[in-house]
Structure 1
């Protein structure tokens, strides 16, 4: 089980911190309503507070998290001009991010950085936000629960091989019943870049090497980097080779794209020094896997 591993890791990392019970997520929500033509600015603050309260009041796992163990994450909601405050209809682009501490350092590595531009939900301040794992309640609560489980799953995968499995399954369950609601971004049009394909990837056996790579990259690579950077780079290169296996099997994948959206700046930093042979192989591999950043990767040579 992954959680004791994570707990031991963080206890060693932050042994001097004060202990206190808390929820799993240390999450910050921001709502930007600058594009919306309205004088009712307070509703944006109300929405922000309601979302944050909902996310922090749920018990997403059966594990006990102490305050310093909470997963740092951000949800940045940018409301679009099509938002209709009078009819309580909100349309938004939403950036979801999460971070993980790196052993022996004060550095936090990004684990998730994903832009979902298909949020469409209703919100009325007087309505309570209620969530049931197996029942569709509202679009907004389903979206928040889906991403909460995804944040947890990815984080757990970085601490033990495929440790996030139960949380991927819960996110998939939410996606499956949300499809029936007809909401945007739940795969009505078969868009392979929407949130349903993301969770389908992560629960697909073809993506097991990708999930193994998450563990190798973080626990065996980044967590060992301070101790032995040359060996850590080789481990990270090995993790990239596993991702290559998946890319070869599934050429179009929002999941691998998300990985490089999250990790490209860090990978450039990791391979900015070290053995030239390792750097050259890493650059060749990264260009293949993420051609969008090819020019940036070539500068490492």
Structure 2
């Protein structure tokens, strides 16, 4: 589905303004939480300082050469849950990332990534400056944060332009290559499934190209025209999701299918359980097939 001329012109004008006027705002508006409830520690202030340092690093670093208006910053929530503190400066746990994207002509924020990484392990000294060096590995914490920042930037850009996030996913790949020097898990092919390595490798792989195509069509051809034509928008969203069937047919257990469904399942159900009806039989059948873990959700889709 193509935009009407008026919407095209509005979007082009907005993009022109973004490219023309220099803004001081950074790209991300991140809420950072460090949860240490499960760790018995006498120095709770350390975790407060860690949270402040991470927030400052993510929100006050200029990650791209693009200029963002304050309202254009990507909203995200990053939660580090510390499960172990083996020694004074060593920490283990998990990190969750939730990022959203605004929908055209709406106040709605659509989730573009809802992901939990259970392989969080890092060293941190209180009041340590978090600085990323593009030429050498220095900190696993900084590498993990930087990797997910570029991944969020990449997925966000992919939702506005077909493969528009390529440069950011390539930056994330560079982070991986450097982090492999640190000896921490999650950065190498041999580290197993559902790792940072696998996430980035899959996103960049031609084998899974329909993942990024689906992101683009789902948002730009679907959600972004919802205010103009709900039935057409829903039809386009259905077509976008059906593209994932191509991945399933070659890789039934593809990691990116889980990433997409963990992020979009609730939204898909909301879209297709209310409002104007379209023929969603094929959509529901495909969802039941490719991601049966959410069958209770898919049953709510009205066909």
Map of 1:140 onto structure 2: 141
Map of 2:176 onto structure 1: 175
Unaligned runs of 5+ in 1: 13-18
Map of 1:296 onto structure 2: 297
Unaligned runs of 5+ in 2: 1-7, 16-21
User: How far did residue 176 of structure 1 move?
Assistant: 2.0
Map of 1:102 onto structure 2: 103
Q: Secondary structure at the match of 1:22?
A: coil
The answer to whether 1:40 aligns with 2:56 is: no
The answer to whether 1:77 aligns with 2:80 is: yes
Asked whether the 8 Å contact 2:36–2:47 carries over to 1, the reply is yes
Q: Distance in 2 between matches of 1:10 and 1:112?
A: 27
Larger displacement relative to structure 2 (124-133 or 22-31): 124-133
| Runs of 4+ residues over 6 Å off in structure 1 | none
Q: Secondary structure at the match of 2:281?
A: helix
Q: Using a 3 Å threshold, how does the CA distance of structure 1 residues 9 and 30 change in structure 2: closer, same or farther?
A: farther
Q: Distance in 1 between matches of 2:116 and 2:292?
A: 19
User: How far did residue 9 of structure 1 move?
Assistant: 7.2
Map of 1:93 onto structure 2: 94
Asked whether the 8 Å contact 2:150–2:172 carries over to 1, the reply is yes
Residues 217-272 of structure 1: CA deviation (Å, up to 9, x unaligned): 00110011121111111111111121111222222222220111010000001111
User: How far did residue 276 of structure 1 move?
Assistant: 5.8
Q: Distance in 2 between matches of 1:38 and 1:126?
A: 17
Larger displacement relative to structure 2 (227-236 or 127-136): 127-136
Q: Distance in 2 between matches of 1:236 and 1:182?
A: 42
User: How far did residue 113 of structure 1 move?
Assistant: 0.3
Asked whether the 8 Å contact 1:29–1:52 carries over to 2, the reply is yes
Q: Give the length in aligned residue pairs.
A: 290
Q: TM-score when scaled to structure 1?
A: 0.90
Q: Secondary structure at the match of 2:92?
A: strand
Map of 1:285 onto structure 2: 286
User: How far did residue 153 of structure 1 move?
Assistant: 0.1
The answer to whether 1:116 aligns with 2:105 is: no
Q: Distance in 2 between matches of 1:214 and 1:142?
A: 26
- Give the aligned CA root-mean-square deviation in angstroms: 2.3
Map of 1:210 onto structure 2: 211
